[in-house]
């Protein structure tokens, strides 16, 4: 392939100096940073965007601005679907492996509806998608998109369905039909919504390209298990003027699963490591193909298969997935997985040990301890906070181990707990000497009592039960 | 039983009828645990208008002449070469080798990242070892309902794991030796292991209680008594007498599981200490598994990095990886009774475990220590599909658009 010359500097090769050289260097602070160098550092860490430097947008800096844009261009293009507050960004990936930097723009999860569903069913499914919400260590996990499929193949029906969907939800849409006439009919019901169009194929690419241009929509390119055709279509569509593409190499969950994994992996590697521009677009996975050969398989089993397939795709580079099942038990692991995979890997594993205060505790308030593993700490802290109780929490340095692994690995010992209590100064804050310990640390309760001189109360094994425990059991 | 299972696998059935039964059983279990409140609705974090410059400028581009025909080009598969190779480690000593196992299992040997089958076929598919405990431990209901008849009888539990749940191996967790629990003697532990070796003939993992001194004493007795069985000794940690442990593992022909807490430098360091006594083919490493939602991101990235480093020639990390995937159950979402929209937990729990397992499968884990039969079955199915590399009928894919479920 000849497009290789466009190879960009890898993320690691960019230094703040490279950026600084192109900034106005006036240290005017309009960007909110102390000076241009500080701003350059934040740029390299992708904490700010160059658009936040107003002087750079002036005519005299146009060349530098363009150069910076090019330097900072992600290996995988960022494609925006939808408009307004709920618009989603797909792709925008800088790296292939998570440890190299951070993955941006978490995999969008779309729930499907069809043009042959009753209006009630459409409304219900949209409601379920919109109301999906789970609080997880300070984040709210949500679903992102609605895919409207034409199962009827009838232009009028599709238009009516899209109209209904667009009236019901602000979530960005994926409009799905391989027939350009049907698709256009749907588009006319949501002409300004900037839905993602599914899909340009070998047979229909020209018509689809016209639609994408006319309605200013991003377009999916589909070539099942055929990467030559996929990049050929991408190349053709780019030349046609369609800039915002999403690639669908096909999703196969039984025979063909290995090919599916290979295709996603090869496309992402070609984009991130090979600088291959034709592979540098967001990738689409379709776990809902699990429903295709359903036969008389129990519905639970199909949902299970769809759910674990989505997990595989989320780990292996899908930027958007389409799902049919709406059950919480199947979607929750995937939304949590997505959150995990897309957190900044530079985030520390441990929090500062010491005394944490909740509410306005007095001398009779309960005293807990937990470990300094970030997730353990945040989980316990959010459980205490949500119950609005007044309490002290002693965070014990366990080198970032959780309670059970800390006890097992001798990172959480009675010595450490006793020392932490002394060091925390909590003994001068409460007049009682009762320490509530995590249920999972019950093995060392005797030793803690001995070494700290505090009476130990073994609390619940899971911190979600702390509020209940306090109501039932706590007496200073 | 085994024959039946074999046939189902050959027929490519994604779930055996047994498993269907297992999953169906959840309806029988009464639900009584603590109830978690569903989260309040909050504004979506990523809200905010998009900057205008992100919107495409298609008009200008469209002025160029539009192509009339497909501009055919080729996708060049991005093949890389790797200077390193992951060590191959054999588990289970057969009769001819001084042990009594029915067969050995080899893991490792990779020369490309996990399931990059466009570069290299899978040499040794990952395997699953199922957890068996030597005394009663707190188990989630979703797991307990499948093993309740065998809890407290490790030999029967091991048999169930192999014959019914399809485990490649069995892990004997010698919890009762914990000085803070039953403080069972090394002799008693030997007896438990003896019963299990008689009940099943798969390779075994011997798990300690986490006490560095007691574990070493028990492992010393077991490695000696069962010389030639090529057990995986789980685990050797930095705070143990590493020299002593490495010596009895080597002398009696077993394999060491080198365990470190999510830090590749510590993993390298421990492996270096083991190299004084053990060969590369005698060490598997456990870099610590955290549950989905509770640190899986760290575990995943740590393992992925270790595997890539091993392939790039870092021999100290070029060992097969083991994962204590059972840790997935430490996540409250795996076992807690939650608001109705997240139920049933009898499905959510095993899905939590399998999601954890699949994530780590893609990071390069070779040996999974697991718990729930449905999670095990799924992991084995997925692995088999990836290894077989069978081709799909691509002509049908687009039908998903018009699918009427
Ligand atoms: S706004 Fe631009 S020119 Fe001003 S300090 Fe920030 S980076 Fe420098």
Q: Whose CA is nearest to atom 7 of ligand 1?
A: A36
Q: What is the pLDDT of residues B183-212, one digit of tens each?
A: 999 999 999 999 999 999 999 999 999 889
Q: A255 to chain B: which residues are within 8 Å by CB?
A: 12, 385, 388, 390-393
Mutation target to probe the A interface, by most A beta carbons within 10 A, among B47, B74, B78, B288 is B78
Task: Using CB atoms, pick whichever of A176, A209, A337 lies closest to residue B359.
Answer: A337
Query: Does residue A31 have its Cβ closer than 6 Å to ligand 1?
Result: yes
Average pLDDT over residues B253-264: 93
Contact B64, A230 (CB under 8 A): no
Mutation target to probe the A interface, by most A beta carbons within 10 A, among B35, B38, B325, B355 is B355
Query: Does residue A469 have its Cβ closer than 6 Å to ligand 1?
Result: no
Per-residue pLDDT of chain A (476 residues; tens, 9 = 90+): 333 333 344 455 688 898 999 999 999 999 999 999 999 999 988 889 899 999 999 999 999 999 999 899 999 999 999 999 999 999 999 999 999 988 999 999 999 999 999 999 999 999 999 999 998 877 899 999 999 999 999 999 999 999 999 999 999 999 999 999 999 999 999 999 999 999 999 999 999 999 999 999 999 999 999 999 999 999 999 999 999 999 999 999 999 999 999 999 999 999 999 999 999 999 999 999 999 978 888 999 999 999 999 999 999 999 999 999 999 999 999 999 999 999 988 777 778 899 999 999 999 999 999 998 887 888 898 889 878 899 999 999 988 788 887 887 788 999 999 999 999 999 999 999 999 999 989 989 999 999 999 999 999 988 888 988 998 889 88
Pick the CATH number of A78-341 from 3.90.1150.10, 1.10.533.10, 3.20.20.20, 3.90.1200.10: 3.20.20.20
Q: What's the CA-to-centroid distance between A461 and ligand 1, angstroms?
A: 52
Mutation target to probe the B interface, by most B beta carbons within 10 A, among A261, A324, A439 is A261
Dihedral angle at the C-alpha atoms of B359, B362, B364, B366, nearest 10 degrees?
70
Rounded to whole angstroms, the Cα distance separating A233 from A210 reads 14
Rounded to whole angstroms, the Cα distance separating A9 from A70 reads 10
Q: A142 to chain B: which residues are within 8 Å by CB?
A: 44
Could you tell me which CATH class the domain B82-388 is placed in?
Answer: alpha beta
pLDDT at residue B258 greater than cutoff 60: yes
| pLDDT, averaged across chain B | 86
Query: Does residue A36 have its Cβ closer than 6 Å to ligand 1?
Result: yes
Q: What's the CA-to-centroid distance between A59 and ligand 1, angstroms?
A: 15
Pick the CATH number of A354-473 from 3.40.605.10, 3.40.50.300, 3.40.50.150, 3.40.50.11600: 3.40.50.11600
Q: What is the pLDDT of residues B72-93, one digit of tens each?
A: 999 999 999 999 999 999 999 9
Contact B321, B88 (CB under 8 A): no
* Partner residues linked to A174 by β-bridges: A147, A196
DSSP string, A315-330: HTT-SEEEE----HHH
Whether omega before B147 lies within 30 degrees of 0, making that bond cis, reads no
Q: A232 to chain B: which residues are within 8 Å by CB?
A: 70-73
Tell me, yes or no, if A52 comes closer than 8 A to chain B by beta carbon.
Answer: no
Query: Does residue A464 have its Cβ closer than 6 Å to ligand 1?
Result: no
Query: Does residue A225 have its Cβ closer than 6 Å to ligand 1?
Result: no
ipTM score of complex? 0.86
Residue B40 C-alpha, separation from nearest chain A C-alpha, in angstroms: 8
C-alpha distances (whole Å) from B85 to each of B88, B300, B309 are 9, 20, 10
Query: Does residue A79 have its Cβ closer than 6 Å to ligand 1?
Result: no
Helix (H, G, I), strand (E, B) or coil at A285: strand
Q: A1 to chain B: which residues are within 8 Å by CB?
A: 73-76
For chain A, which residues make up each domain, given as ranges? Answer: 3-72, 78-341, 354-473
Tell me, yes or no, if A1 comes closer than 8 A to chain B by beta carbon.
Answer: yes
Q: What's the CA-to-centroid distance between A32 and ligand 1, angstroms?
A: 8
Residue A353 C-alpha, separation from nearest chain B C-alpha, in angstroms: 18
Query: Does residue A24 have its Cβ closer than 6 Å to ligand 1?
Result: yes
Calculate helix-pair angle for B345-361, B373-388, nearest 10 degrees. Answer: 40
Query: CA-nearest residue of chain A to B290?
Result: A402
Query: Does residue A33 have its Cβ closer than 6 Å to ligand 1?
Result: yes
CATH superfamily, with its number, for domain A3-72: Electron transport complex subunit B, putative Fe-S cluster (1.10.15.40)
Helix (H, G, I), strand (E, B) or coil at A230: helix
How, if at all, do strands A145-149 and A139-141 pair? unpaired
For chain B, which residues make up each domain, given as ranges? Answer: 82-388
C-alpha distances (whole Å) from A95 to each of A316, B18, B112 are 13, 43, 19
Ligand 1 atom closest to residue A33's alpha carbon, by position in its atom list: 6
H/E stretch holding B189: helix B186-199
């Amino acid at each position: 392939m000849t497009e290789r010359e466009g190879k960009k500097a890898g993320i690691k090769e960019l230094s703040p100096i490279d950026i600084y050289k192109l900034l106005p260097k006036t240290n005017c602070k309009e960007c909110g940073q102390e000076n241009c160098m500080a701003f350059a550092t934040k740029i390299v860490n992708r904490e700010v965007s160059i658009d936040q430097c107003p002087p750079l947008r002036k005519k005299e800096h146009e060349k530098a601005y363009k150069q910076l844009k090019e330097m900072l261009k992600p290996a995988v293009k960022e494609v925006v679907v939808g408009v307004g507050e709920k618009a989603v960004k797909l792709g925008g990936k800088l790296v292939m492996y998570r440890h190299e930097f951070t993955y941006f723009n978490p995999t969008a999860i779309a729930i499907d509806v069809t043009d042959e569903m009753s209006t009630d069913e459409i409304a219900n499914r949209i409601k379920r998608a919109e109301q999906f919400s789970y609080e997880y260590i300070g984040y709210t996990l949500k679903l992102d998109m609605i895919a409207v499929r034409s199962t009827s193949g009838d232009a009028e029906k599709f238009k009516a369905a899209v109209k209904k969907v667009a009236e019901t939800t602000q979530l960005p849409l994926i409009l799905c039909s391989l027939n350009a006439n049907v698709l256009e009919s749907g588009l006319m019901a949501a002409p300004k919504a900037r839905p993602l169009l599914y899909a340009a194929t070998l047979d229909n690419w020209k018509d689809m390209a016209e639609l994408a241009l006319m309605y200013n929509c991003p377009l999916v390119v589909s070539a099942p298990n055929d990467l030559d055709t996929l990049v050929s279509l991408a190349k053709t569509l780019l030349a046609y003027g369609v800039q915002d593409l999403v690639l669908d190499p096909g999703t196969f969950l039984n025979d063909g699963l290995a090919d599916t994994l290979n295709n996603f992996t090869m496309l992402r590697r070609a984009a991130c490591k090979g600088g291959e521009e034709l592979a540098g677009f967001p990738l689409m996975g379709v776990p809902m193909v699990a429903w295709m050969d359903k036969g008389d398989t129990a519905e639970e089993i199909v949902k299970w298969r769809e759910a674990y397939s989505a997990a595989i795709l989320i780990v292996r580079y899908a930027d958007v997935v389409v799902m049919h099942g709406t059950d919480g038990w199947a979607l929750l692991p995937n939304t949590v997985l997505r959150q995990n995979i897309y957190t900044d890997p530079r985030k520390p594993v441990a929090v500062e040990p010491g005394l944490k205060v909740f509410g306005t505790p007095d001398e009779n308030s309960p005293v807990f301890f937990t470990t300094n593993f970030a997730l353990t700490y945040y989980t316990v802290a959010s459980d205490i906070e949500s119950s609005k109780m007044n309490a002290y929490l002693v965070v014990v340095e366990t080198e970032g181990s959780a309670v059970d692994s800390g006890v097992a690995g001798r990172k959480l010992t009675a010595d450490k707990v006793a020392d932490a209590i002394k060091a925390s100064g909590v003994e001068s804050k409460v007049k009682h000497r009762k320490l509530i310990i995590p249920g999972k640390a019950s093995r060392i309760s005797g030793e803690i009592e001995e070494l700290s001189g505090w009476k130990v109360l073994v609390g619940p094994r899971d911190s979600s039960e702390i509020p209940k425990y306090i109501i039932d059991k706590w007496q200073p | 039983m085994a024959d039946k299972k074999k046939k189902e696998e050959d027929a490519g059935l994604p779930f055996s009828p047994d498993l269907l039964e297992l999953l169906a059983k959840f309806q029988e279990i009464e639900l009584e645990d603590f109830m978690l409140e569903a989260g309040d609705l909050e504004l979506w974090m990523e809200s905010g208008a998009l900057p205008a410059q992100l919107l495409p400028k298609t008009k200008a581009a469209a002025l160029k002449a539009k192509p009339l025909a497909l501009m055919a080009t080729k996708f060049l598969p991005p093949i890389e070469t790797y200077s390193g190779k992951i060590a191959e480690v054999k588990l289970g000593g057969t009769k001819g080798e001084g042990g009594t196992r029915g067969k050995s299992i080899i893991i490792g040997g990779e020369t490309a990242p996990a399931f990059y089958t466009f570069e290299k076929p899978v040499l040794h598919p990952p395997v699953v070892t199922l957890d068996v405990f030597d005394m009663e431990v707190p188990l989630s209901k979703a797991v307990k309902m499948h093993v309740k008849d065998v809890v407290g009888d490790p030999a029967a539990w091991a048999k169930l794991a192999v014959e019914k749940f399809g485990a490649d191996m069995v892990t004997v967790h010698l919890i009762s030796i914990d000085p803070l629990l039953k403080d069972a003697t090394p002799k008693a532990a030997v007896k438990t292991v003896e019963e299990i070796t008689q009940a099943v003939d798969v390779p075994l993992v011997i798990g300690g209680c986490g006490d560095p001194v007691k574990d070493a004493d028990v492992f010393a007795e077991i490695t000696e008594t069962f010389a030639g069985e090529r057990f995986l000794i789980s685990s050797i940690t930095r705070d143990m007498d590493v020299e002593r442990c490495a010596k009895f593992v080597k002398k009696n022909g077993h394999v060491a599981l080198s365990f470190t807490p999510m830090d590749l430098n510590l993993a390298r360091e421990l492996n270096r200490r083991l190299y004084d006594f053990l060969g590369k083919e005698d060490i598997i490493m456990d870099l610590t598994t955290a549950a989905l939602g509770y640190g899986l991101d760290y575990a995943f990235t740590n393992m992925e990095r270790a595997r890539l480093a091993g392939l790039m020639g870092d021999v100290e990390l070029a060992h097969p990886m083991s994962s204590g995937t059972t840790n997935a159950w430490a996540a409250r979402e795996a076992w807690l009774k939650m608001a109705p929209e997240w139920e049933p937990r009898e499905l959510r729990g095993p899905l939590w475990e399998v999601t954890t397992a699949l994530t780590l499968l893609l990071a390069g884990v070779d040996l999974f220590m697991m718990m729930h039969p449905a999670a095990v079955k799924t992991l084995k199915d997925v692995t088999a599909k990836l290894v077989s590399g069978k081709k799909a009928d691509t002509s049908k894919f687009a039908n998903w658009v018009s699918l009427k479920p």
